[in-house]
A = this chain, B = another copy of it.
Amino acid sequence: MAKKTKNNVVFRIWFFVDDEKLLGKGRVELLERIEKGGSIASAAKEMKMSYRQAWQMVSEMNQRARKKLVVKQLGGKSGGGATVTEEGKEAIKCFRELENKTRMFLEKEYKKLKF
């Protein structure tokens, strides 16, 4: 019997601002986890990435977006934390929506091809 092969198409999208990356899959996941856990540190731990990298990603996003996507708080009993702004939530929503639409589009179109 011939070996069965699984053929499929994979994609990634990124939002850019002035030729610099604003958002991609990883950063959106980071935002989602910050929203859920209330801090960059917890989000980074969940994603098994270094806190430093996560912090830098947030910093870059905030610089490049029209408005900050995450606001941070220093000090306090719990040491502080981070919150996703309305703008940030909007960014997550836009990204995920476009991602889903693209997924459906590509699945449909890919079926028409032989590869």
A13-B16 in contact (CB<8A): no
Closest 3 CB pairs of A and B: A94-B113, A10-B14, A94-B115
Of B5, B16, B95, B98, the residue contacting A8 (CB under 8 A) is: B16
Q: From residue 1 to 53 of chain A, which have CB atoms closer than 8 A to chain B? A: 5-19, 22-23
B11-A11 in contact (CB<8A): yes
Rounded to whole Å, the gap between the CB of A90 and the closest CB of chain B is 7
B109-A95 in contact (CB<8A): no
Rounded to whole Å, the gap between the CB of A9 and the closest CB of chain B is 6
Q: How distant is the Cα of A98 from the Cα of B102 in the complex, in angstroms? A: 12
Q: A90-B114, A115-B90, A115-B91 are in contact. Are A9 and B98 (CB under 8 A)?
A: yes
A6-B23 in contact (CB<8A): no
A55 at interface (Cβ–Cβ under 8 A)?
A: no
A9-B5 in contact (CB<8A): no
